[in-house]
Amino acid sequence: MTAMDVLKKTGFYALVGVILLVSIFPFYYAIITSLKTGTGLFEVNYLPKSFDLSNYITVLSQQTFPRNILNSVFIATTTVVLALFLAVTAAYALARVPFRGRGLLLMTILAVSMFPQIAVLAGLFELVRFIGIFNTPWAMILSYTIFTLPFTVWVLTTFMRDLPVEIEEAAIVDGATPWVIISKVFLPLLWPALVTTGLLAFIGAWNEFLFALTFTSSETTRTVPVAIALLSGASQYETPWGAIMAASVLVTVPLIVLVLIFQRKIVAGLTAGGVKG
């Protein structure tokens, strides 16, 4: 190895180190902040100094925050189930049945997912008020389909397109109806894709902010992101950083665990629509 090679190698690993540090440090800092209380919060420490769970106890013993977590879980789960149910059948039609205008329809669905959500806010606000679901979880479940549904349809269509035609032909020859083909032939093969899209849609619904902020008006109906954004201290001028960080860590750790477990599938799902072109 020449000196040049050593230099190159050191430079490369230094770059890897920087990438690692930048990715992990902010969340690490949030964790050590959440374990500090009182005046300890206001001194900068690079290494964990205290281990005090009182911020977590404060957040969880509050009336509203556990409720907010339940709201988010209910909303995100229902949104995902609804989107997957509607998307599986639609994706079969889009991937397997040739009909006129299919390409245009796919493009329209993709266009909906690129919509600026603010463009439908006024109309959705009216709709939500009109049906009488303002300030209930159903307002979010309804409005979140605007981004979860196009996304799930899109990814499931690309997955289904890649399944071998022979399986379906054999089923058709055996006289299976389209519904049987979907439920008995495709669904078992689609499980990995369903897990991936479901997880991505869940993350999207869990993190959504604009609709959740606009369609809720009381503390108990808020979702987690809104609750964290609007978490306030005893007085207007005092931001409860310790409690905010504790709440943030609480709602982020499950997500990170899920993402790390399913990382390969998630990467496949993210790139499914993108790299094919």
Partner 1 sequence: MSQALTNATAAPAASRRERSLDDQRRRAAFWFLAPMLLMLFCVAAWPLLRSIYFSFTDTTLTDLYGGKWVGFDNYLSYRQLSSGKVIWRGTLVDPTWWNAVWNTVRFALISVSLETVFGLIVALVLNAQFVGRGFVRAAILIPWAIPTIVSAKMWGWMLNDQFGIINDMLLKLGLISEKIAWTANLDTAMAAVILVDVWKTTPFMALLCLAGLQMIPRDIYEAAKVDGIHPVKVFFRVTLPLVRPALMVAVIFRILDALRMFDLVYVLTPNSSATKTMSILSRENLIEFNKFAYGSAQSTLLFAIIAIFVAAYIWLGKVDLSGEKNQ
What is the rounded distance in angstroms from the CA atom of residue 141 to the CA atom of residue 219? Answer: 18
What the block records as the tokens of 266 is: 């998630």
Rounded to 5°, angle at Cα 65 from 55 and 148: 125
Answer yes or no whether residue 15 interacts with partner 1 by CB under 8 A.
yes
Measured from the CB of residue 51, what is the shortest distance to partner 1 in angstroms? Answer: 19
Interface residue with partner 1 among 92, 151, 159, 202 (CB under 8 A) is: 92
What the block records as the tokens of 270 is: 């993210």
Interface residue with partner 1 among 66, 161, 232, 233 (CB under 8 A) is: 161
Answer yes or no whether residue 41 interacts with partner 1 by CB under 8 A.
yes
Interface residue with partner 1 among 93, 133, 163, 195 (CB under 8 A) is: 93
Query: Which region, judged by CB under 8 A, interacts with partner 1, from 52-60, 73-81, 187-195, 218-226?
Result: 218-226
Alpha carbon distances (Å) from 16 to 5, 72, 172: 17, 36, 53
Q: Which is nearer to partner 1, 53 or 129 (CB)?
A: 129
Answer yes or no whether residue 4 interacts with partner 1 by CB under 8 A.
no
Q: Which is nearer to partner 1, 59 or 149 (CB)?
A: 149
What is the rounded distance in angstroms from the CA atom of residue 139 to the CA atom of residue 131? Answer: 9
Number of residues that bind partner 1 (CB under 8 A): 102
Q: What is the 3-state secondary structure (H, E, C) of 135-194?
A: CCHHHHHHHHHHHHHHHHHHHHHHHHHCCCHHHHHHHHHCCCCHHHHHHHHHHHHHHHHH
Answer yes or no whether residue 87 interacts with partner 1 by CB under 8 A.
yes
Answer yes or no whether residue 22 interacts with partner 1 by CB under 8 A.
yes
Give the torsion through C-alpha atoms of 154, 156, 159, 160, to 10 deg.
Answer: -110
Interface residue with partner 1 among 172, 184, 192, 233 (CB under 8 A) is: 172
Query: Which region, judged by CB under 8 A, interacts with partner 1, from 49-57, 58-66, 187-195, 252-260?
Result: 252-260
Q: Which is nearer to partner 1, 67 or 102 (CB)?
A: 102
Query: Which region, judged by CB under 8 A, interacts with partner 1, from 11-19, 48-56, 59-67, 190-198?
Result: 11-19
Q: Taking each helix axis as running N to C, give the angle between helix 65-96 and helix 137-161, from 0 to 180 degrees, rounded to the nearest 10.
A: 30
> What residues have CB less than 8 Å from 122, skipping those under 6 apart?
none
The footprint of partner 1 on residues 219-248 (CB under 8 A) is 224-226, 228-229, 241, 244-245, 248
The footprint of partner 1 on residues 119-158 (CB under 8 A) is 119-127, 129, 142-143, 145-146, 149-150, 153, 158
Interface residue with partner 1 among 6, 7, 11, 20 (CB under 8 A) is: 20
